[in-house]
Amino acid sequence: MDGNWIAIGSIADIPLRGARCVKTPQGRIAVFRTAEGEVFAIEDRCPHRGGPLSQGIVHGRAVTCPLHNWVISLESGKALGADEGAVRTVALRNEDGALFIALENLMAAAE
């Protein structure tokens, strides 16, 4: 593994259908764990008005924003249904339960 991945803790720290917010130099990243135990990382900032997606409700591979109920895909970062907009997705690696996100991608996306 190269130096551009940053360790963000264990999958066990994230409840099923829950999320954690990770602060990085490139902003807050929400790391979600689905009911099936899959993990996804996206920007913790709703494309509507910046709501904290890490505090939303996870269902399937999507999260409902706690502010005005937009539904955001955890896979694509795109708003689903009639709403339009997207958040950045962040590459995430799961090494036997130890989670890493790709800081380099974050930097590139932030430029």
Check residue 41 and give left, alpha or beta (phi > 0: left; psi -120 to 50: alpha): beta
Give, as one character, the DSSP assignment of residue 20: E
Whole-number Å distance between alpha carbons of 28 and 6: 14
100 lies in the site for ligand FES, by CB under 6 A: no
Binding residues for ligand FES, rule CB under 6 A, total: 10
59 lies in the site for ligand FES, by CB under 6 A: no
Residue of the chain from 68, 85, 94, 108 that contacts ligand FES (CB under 6 A):
68
Report the nearest approach of ligand FES to the CB of residue 77 (Å): 13
44 closest CA partner among 19, 76, 13: 19
> Would you tell me which residues interact with ligand FES (CB under 6 A)?
46, 48-51, 65, 67-70
